[in-house]
Amino acid sequence: MLILGIETSCDETSAAIVKNGRLVLSNIVSSQVNLHKKYGGVVPEIAARAHIENIIPVIRDCFDQAKKKWQDIDAIAVTYGPGLITSLLIGVETAKTLAYVKDKPVVAVNHLEGHIYASWLKPTRNFQFPISNFQFPILCLIVSGGHTMLVLMKNHGEYRTIGQTRDDAAGEAFDKVAKLLKIGYPGGPVIEKWAKKGNAEIFDLPRPMINSKDFDFSFSGLKTAAIKQVKSARLKMQSKKEIADLCVSFQQAAVDVLVFKTIKAAKECKVKSVMLAGGVAANKLLRRTLRDRLKKELPNTLYLAPDISFCTDNAAMIASAGYFHAKNKDFTSWQKLEARADAELGDSP
Ligand code: KG4
Ligand code: ZN
């Protein structure tokens, strides 16, 4: 089964063609980073305008790269939410129009569900996976620019949120700290780069809520602590060394909390697999620390993380999630399809 995926929930315009939910035949991502860089964050109106300009060329490129034609496509999967409403609308209206004109069924995909299925994607035909099938129950740590959640997945489409951030998302905290340090946007990759040259012993940052009894997180406190350090007399000069030292401490504190709570939840919920998902899953320290801690403390638990190229927003993950719905004929008629900024994981569209 071939699914065309469309993703426009934030600032990437993306289209992909994926075979049987796994093999990526094409995945075109047109990033708007350069447009939003100077504002230090995504400007919704600019994002929506860029999506309008890019969506048709991106879809065309994705057909060309996959060497497929419309008649090969079985269904269109599109992100309907959550995300920026003005951005979501472009993908949804495009999908509706194409579904009508090309007479294809539509699957409405939740963006977070898409991130979960990113671990399932095969970037090349020869790519070897540790698994041939999902091993449920799976504990998913979803960490992105808008969300930080621990989700228990008992089967395809069965989600229960057991913990989440009470304030900022993990990616949002990376972005805000980087903005304050004036080191670039998006914050995650730049902080990771700077952290390589830093000394983790210089700044002592807190691990908010690490000992709370629940599985919730708080990243606003960590961000504020980092900001206080930046504003302190010592950091006024903002030397390269100080920036690197702050980045390494901030990254370590964020990773410590995420990994600690994930391991705790995995033990309590007795899951078979632990999965990392979302843009922050691209962080190498997070990937390595979670993998090593799992190996040590829960050696029989399978560790799943997407290929780095599928961590941040892309349409291949939407096509993969769409495949599992399409297999069950879980379609939404194009007349009823609507973008929903506040869609929740497990909601029906
Ligand atoms: O999933 P995503 O592409 O968009 C949302 O759905 O929000 O995630 C974007 C977020 C940004 O906050 C970005 O700073 C963060 O993911 N991110 C990272 C890394 N790469 C992207 N955070 C930490 N380390 C990274 N290497
Ligand atoms: Zn995302």
- Per residue in 286-312, pLDDT (tens digit) is 999 999 999 999 999 999 999 999 999
Pocket lining: 145 vs ligand 1, CB cutoff 6 Å: yes
* Amino acid of residue 160: R
**Dihedral sign (CA 88, 36, 112, 107):** positive
Q: How confident is the model at residue 206 (pLDDT cuts 50, 70, 90)?
A: very high
* Distance from C-alpha of 174 to C-alpha of 250, rounded to nearest angstrom: 8
pLDDT of residue 127: 72
Residue 179 structure tokens: 């903005």
Strand partners, 45: none
Structural domain range at position 59 = 2-121+309-327
Q: Number of structural domains, the chain? A: 2
Q: Is the CB of 306 under 6 A from ligand 1?
A: no
Burial of 123 (0-12, 13-18, 19+ CB in 10 A): middle
Three-state secondary structure along 249-264?
A: HHHHHHHHHHHHHHHH
Within-domain flag for 261: yes
Distances in Å between the Cα of 44 and the Cα atoms of 8, 47, 50, 134, 237 are 12, 5, 10, 36, 33
User: What is the distance between the alpha carbons of residues 206 and 142, in angstroms, rounded to a whole number?
Assistant: 22
Q: Is 114 in the pocket of ligand 1 (CB under 6 A)?
A: no
Query: What distance in angstroms lies between residue 230's CA and the mean position of ligand 2's atoms?
Result: 29
Q: Do residues 292 and 175 share a domain?
A: yes
The string of pLDDT tens digits covering residues 75-131 is 999 999 999 999 999 999 999 999 999 999 999 999 999 999 999 998 777 777 666
Tell me the CATH number at 149: 3.30.420.40
- Could you report the per-residue pLDDT of 125-149, keeping only the tens digit for each? 777 766 677 899 999 999 999 999 9
pLDDT at 258 exceeding the cut of 90 = yes
One domain for residues 14 and 27: yes
Confidence band (pLDDT; 50, 70, 90) for 238?
low
Distances (CA, A) of 171 to 140, 162, 189, 219, 221: 16, 19, 10, 9, 14
Q: Is 167 contained in some domain?
A: yes
169 in any annotated domain = yes
| Gap from CA of 141 to ligand 1 centroid (Å) | 13
**Would the CB of 189 count as within 6 Å of ligand 1?**
yes
Query: Are 111 and 81 contacting, i.e. CB atoms less than 8 angstroms apart?
Result: yes
